[in-house]
Amino acid sequence: MVSEKIAALINEQIAHEQYAAQYYLSMSAWFSGKDLDGIANYFRVQSKEELMHADKMFDYLNDVGGEIIIGEIPKPPHEFANAIDIFEKALAHEKVVTKSIFNIVKKCQRRRRFRNYLVPAVVHQRAGRRGSQCFTAGDQNKNGKR
């Protein structure tokens, strides 16, 4: 049985993942509106992956008998200055979600099963950050490499 404290963190994370899915879908819509279908598809795929992460956490919480409480998902922004603005916002959001996941991982060090659920999500977070960094000047190291 998972503690109420951990269950609350996982419920929050489910909401974060679902919000990320909405946010990336909104970004996809912006690119679709500009007939930039390739980039629109990139964000559509990101959106679906976020939903998959939410599903995995939902399943985990269900498996360990935690109470699942679906949180409210705020409406994401739909107006963006340009493509770079979107990638910068996507990168910033990936950082927030990554930090949140690592916070849970830290608090669940002894829960090997939960780590197994989370590893794909963590790997995705890193890939998502790299994907967004390809289009922004963010996160360069001292040598200018990302």
Whether 21 and 57 have beta carbons less than 8 Å apart is answered as no
Does position 88 interact with Fe ion (CB under 5 A)? The reply is: no
What is the Cα Rg of the chain in Å? 16
Given the complex with Fe ion, which of 17 and 88 has the nearer CB atom? Answer: 17
Choose the stretch contacting Fe ion; rule: CB under 5 A; options: 22-30, 47-55, 67-75, 79-87: 47-55
Number of residues interacting with Fe ion: please give it, by CB under 5 A: 3
Per-residue mark of binding to Fe ion, 2-21 (x: CB under 5 A): ---------------x----
CB closer to Fe ion out of 36 and 68: 68
Q: Which of 18, 21, 28, 50 binds Fe ion (CB under 5 A)?
A: 50
Half-sphere exposure of 83 (CA within 13 A, CB side): 17
For residue 113, give the nearest of 63, 41, 43 by alpha carbon: 63
Q: What is the 3-state secondary structure (H, E, C) of 29-46?
A: HHHHHCCCHHHHHHHHHH
Do residues 133 and 139 touch, judged by C-beta distance below 8 A?
Answer: yes
Cα(146)–Cα(137) distance, integer angstroms: 9
Q: What tokens appear for 25 in the block?
A: 């879908």
9, 39, 53, 89: which one contacts Fe ion (CB under 5 A)? 53
Least CB distance to Fe ion at residue 98 (A): 8
List contacts with Fe ion (CB under 5 A): 17, 50, 53
